């Protein structure tokens, strides 16, 4: 099964003024992401407010992303849901419309309490789209499911034929490394924490990742990977430090999903507000964040439309 090389971005879902999905924003959005050196999108995930979308909206977004992306730009569809039947519908649909792959995080409710339950959840979804690679999305901060991912790999190995790997969005670099080493690197371990891209590269096994802040800071994140691959550790470290400086700013304004989405407006593409229950930024906060980003030279180094 193909392993992903390079960085995939987890895009925001564009909304209009009346809080409906704005499909017209997707084409220029996709073009900007590709021009920033990114290799694909992981749609309808946490950055995309997937759990705030209806199933029908998620299906339509999948279709539109597949339509607008450039050739060879991967579309991976997050199909996780609190309703497993909906996940099956979305997985089948992704396969039908030509998505490259699918993925799913564990549902936030009810909380999965055993590895076997998680395996059954993944198995059901993966079987609905047998021709597509399936990635488990490990993000315990959102759903409280914090098993050893090495245990998960051992449990799915030989049981789920199209289990490709894990989108690993967690601080547990020891567990991540153990997963990378499993059976000589059998599974695709996509690094999912933008703060530690360089760490994962130094461990020597990371080939690809899925990033949230790449929506607006993708150029810098790509440069971390390129500099490291070229043996330029000082440049890679400087780019990682800059990426952290940007993250430190958004952390003061409710993080990537809220602050990051408003940054898109500041760099040229207004993707609208977040859906309830997210608490949107005020105009005062937006102006303050703009000043902080200016102070670190963000707008000279960010993605460009």
Q: Give the per-residue pLDDT at 204.
A: 81
Rounded Cα distance, 175 and 43, in Å? 26
* Closest to 245 (Cα-Cα) out of 268, 266, 229, 221: 221
User: Residue 205: pLDDT above 90?
Assistant: no
Torsion of CA 29, 33, 36, 41, to 10 degrees: 170
| Mean per-residue pLDDT over the chain, rounded | 97
Residue 40 above 90 pLDDT?
yes
Give Cα 27 to chain centroid, integer Å: 19
Which of the residues are catalytic? 137, 167
Tokens of 239: 């780019």
- Helical (H) or strand (E) element with 40: strand 40-43
3-state secondary structure of 276: coil
The yes-or-no verdict on residue 19 having pLDDT over 90 is yes
Which tokens belong to 184? 């000589």
Give the burial string for 54-92 (b: 16+ CB within 10 Å, else e).
ebebbbebbbbbbebbeeebbbbbbbbbeebebbbbbbb
Percent of the chain with pLDDT over 90: 98
* Peptide linkage before 238 cis (omega within 30 of 0): no
Q: Which pLDDT score, from 0 to 100, does residue 125 have? A: 98
Domain 6-244 class? alpha beta
Q: How confident is the model at residue 1 (pLDDT cuts 50, 70, 90)?
A: confident
For residue 110, cis peptide bond before it (omega within 30 degrees of 0)? yes
Alpha carbon separation from 11 to 27, 47, 215 (Å, rounded): 12, 6, 6
Per-residue pLDDT at 187: 97
State pTM to two decimals: 0.97
Domain boundaries, the chain: 6-244
Q: Is the pLDDT of residue 206 over 90?
A: no
Mean pLDDT of the 270-296 span = 97
pLDDT band at 135; cut points 50, 70, 90: very high
Q: How far apart are CA 96 and CA 132, in angstroms?
A: 10
């Amino acid at each position: 099964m193909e392993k992903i090389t390079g960085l995939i971005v987890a895009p925001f879902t564009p909304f209009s003024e009346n809080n409906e999905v704005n499909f017209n924003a997707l084409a220029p959005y996709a073009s900007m992401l590709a021009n920033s050196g990114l290799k694909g999108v992981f749609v309808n995930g946490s950055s995309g407010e997937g759990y705030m979308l209806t199933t029908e909206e998620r299906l339509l977004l999948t279709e539109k992303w597949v339509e607008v992306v450039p050739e060879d730009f991967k579309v991976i569809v997050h199909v996780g849901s609190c309703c497993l039947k909906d996940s099956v519908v979305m997985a089948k649909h992704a396969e039908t419309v030509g998505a490259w792959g699918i993925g799913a995080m564990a549902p936030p409710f009810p909380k999965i309490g055993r590895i076997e339950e998680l395996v059954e959840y993944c198995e059901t979804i993966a079987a609905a789209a047998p021709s597509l690679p399936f990635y488990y999305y490990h993000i315990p901060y959102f759903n409280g499911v914090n098993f050893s991912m090495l245990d998960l790999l051992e449990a799915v190995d030989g049981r789920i034929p199209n289990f490709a790997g894990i989108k690993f969005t967690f601080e547990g670099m020891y567990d991540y490394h153990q997963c990378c080493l499993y059976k000589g690197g059998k599974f695709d371990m996509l690094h999912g924490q933008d703060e530690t891209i360089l760490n994962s590269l130094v461990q020597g096994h990371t080939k690809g990742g899925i990033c949230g802040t790449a929506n607006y800071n993708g150029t810098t994140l790509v440069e971390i990977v390129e500099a490291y691959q070229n043996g330029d550790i000082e440049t890679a470290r400087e780019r990682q430090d800059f990426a952290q400086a940007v993250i430190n700013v958004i952390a003061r304004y409710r993080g990537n999903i809220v602050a990051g989405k408003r940054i898109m407006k500041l760099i040229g593409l207004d993707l609208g507000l977040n859906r309830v229950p997210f608490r949107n930024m005020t105009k005062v906060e937006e102006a303050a964040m703009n000043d902080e980003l200016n102070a670190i030279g963000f707008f000279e180094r960010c993605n460009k439309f």
